[in-house]
Amino acid sequence: MGVTPDFRDAVRGDVSQVVALVERAYRGQASRAGWTTEADLLDGQRTDEREIGELVGSRTSRIRVAFIEGQLVACVRIDRASGFGYVGMVSVEPTRQRDGLGRLLLTEAERVIRDELGLDRARMTVIGQRSELIAWYGRRGYLPTGEREPFPYGEPRNGLPRRPDLYFEVLQKPLV
């Protein structure tokens, strides 16, 4: 990759940029430039300014952002949950998804969970039909717990499913 990103917590002024990045990373034609697209599974939005604004202003959640040369290139949601840190909304600029940024972003999220939140494990949910993404997380130590969570059908704020069998696979990693 060569250039190490600068990480910090998102602030209110970042909300619009974060929303745009997440949308490019997950949905629509722009997401197809990368490999983490959900465009074949879901239409509609992935997030909105209200959700990101709430996360930025929360005491139990944050959005960690990564900049290279002043440009937002990646972000991740980190929540303090009961006994673990939740990692979500892992987003990397689609044209930079093969640059190693995802690995660096995940390492940073784990550092925040371990060192700043004082928690010893990270959890995430991934759409179960995303076997290549689950395998990528597996290579980084995230293993299936055997738990599944239902996809929130009927909630357009979470996307418009293109198939009736979506669910979330729960993955977990110890942070020692």
Classify residue 3 by its DSSP letter: P
Average pLDDT, the chain: 95
Asked if residue 114 is part of any domain, the answer here is yes
Asked if residue 1 is part of any domain, the answer here is no
pLDDT of residue 156: 87
Lowest-pLDDT choice from 62-66, 75-79, 136-140, 157-161? 157-161
Query: pTM score, two decimals?
Result: 0.94
pLDDT of residue 113: 98
Task: Indicate which CATH number applies to the domain containing 121.
Answer: 3.40.630.30
pLDDT of residue 3: 78
Give SS3 for 87. strand
pLDDT tens profile 75-120: 999 999 999 999 999 999 999 998 999 999 999 999 999 999 999 9
At 2, is the pLDDT very low, low, confident or very high (cuts 50, 70, 90)?
Answer: low
pLDDT of residue 1: 53
Which residue range forms the structural domain that includes residue 61? 6-174
pLDDT average, residue stretch 130-146: 97
Residue 59 has pLDDT above 80, yes or no: yes
Q: How far apart are CA 104 and CA 65, in angstroms?
A: 11
Q: Supply φ then ψ for residue 90, to 5 degrees.
A: -65, 115
Asked if residue 150 is part of any domain, the answer here is yes
pLDDT of residue 136: 97
Domain count, the chain: 1
pLDDT average, residue stretch 127-153: 97
Computed on alpha carbons and rounded to an integer, the radius of gyration of the chain in Å comes to 15
CA 32 to chain centre: 17
